[in-house]
Amino acid sequence: MTFNKLVPELNVSNLEKSLDFYINILGFKLEYKRNEPEFALISREGAQLMLEENPNSPWNTGALDYPRGRGINLQITVSDVHLLVKALEKKSYPLKLPLKDSYYHVGDLMVGCREFLVMDPDGYLLRFSQELGHRPAGEE
């Protein structure tokens, strides 16, 4: 296993509930898990997340009130966002923002992605994105 150069670690309220969401609904893979504190590393298509259930962690910078992670969203690029939306719908899990196509200016290009937002059980905001290619800026 190779670790990415940036691996977000999310402090969760219930590791088993989070693992159920990420693994059984979103299709992440459990890379490894340990106890004391409760911890897991998960991955999907090259993206990695660490999940820890430790309300007394010295790394906590403040109260862990819901929704956690205010002011940040984690963009995770996947090969097919439709599969994730279907899996969430099958479990009646609500989307924060529905699936849509977006184009963003990057230099002289418009870079496209198909994306949606969902909040995990602790309120961390996840943006799943599928690349749609690019076109010159100004083309509609």
**pLDDT 10s digits, 40-50:** 999 999 999 99
Tens digit of each residue's pLDDT (9 = 90 or more) over 110-132: 999 999 999 999 999 999 999 99
pLDDT band with cut points at 50, 70 and 90 for residue 138: confident
Q: Do 77 and 47 contact (CB within 8 A), yes or no?
A: yes
Query: What global pTM score does this model have?
Result: 0.92
CA quadruple 127, 118, 89, 16: dihedral, nearest 10: 110
Q: Map tokens 């969401």 to a residue.
A: 21
* pLDDT band at residue 139 under the 50/70/90 scheme: low
Architecture of domain 9-54+71-136: Roll (3.10)
Residue 103, both tokens: 């184009």
